[in-house]
Amino acid sequence: MLKRCFLLLLVLLATMQIGWSDNSDLTVNLFMNDCSNTGYCLANPGVQGSSATAFANFALINEPWSFNLTTPPALSWVQNGTNYEATFGYGGSFTMDGPDGLTFTGVITSGSSDAGDGFWEVQVNYAGDWSNGVFAEGTADVDITERGRQGTASLTSQPTVPEPSTFILLGSGLLGVVAFGRRTLSL
């Protein structure tokens, strides 16, 4: 019985490792110029502590990636004349489309926005899950200048693989459950 459970555990761990190891197509580091005047990116830094929003579509540089984000309300903000700065904490939403029809649903983990005379920017860190179950995190930024005539957007995304210690913890927990069940059944 214990031998079968151990083999089942090894098969489970091997399957999990295979599923997590082939995510290279979900790792990206993109940057594009001239996206605001063509409608491929836009940012709204928010006002007086409200949520900021941004989107970018990297089809402009022939990449199958796009994102939309809405931050939670600002943790703090400062308005000084035409200059505005805000910081954001955990919350809001971050969605993304990637290669092979995969979609991503996540949350903003932190971020900031700023605006001044003729420029505005929104940048965030995010985390969440792809539609194939892979967890990922990254950064996104949209920077608009020259009163909206110029814009840049960047996106990084990296699947996060559990550390080996996570596998050891999972395996020892499962073995403990098997041993407890075996002891209980033999009584």
pLDDT in tens, the chain (187 residues): 555 545 554 444 544 444 444 566 899 999 999 999 889 999 999 999 999 999 999 999 999 999 999 999 999 999 999 999 999 999 999 999 999 999 999 999 999 999 999 999 999 999 999 999 999 999 999 999 988 889 999 999 999 875 444 445 455 555 555 555 566 556 6
Contact between 101 and 111 under an 8 Å Cβ cutoff? The reply is no
Question: What's the number of domains the chain is made of?
Answer: 1
Give the integer Cα–Cα distance in Å for 176 and 179: 5
Helix axes 164-186, 2-21, angle to 10 degrees: 160
| 78 falls within a domain | yes
| 18 falls within a domain | no
| 3 falls within a domain | no
Specify which residues 19 forms β-bridges with: none
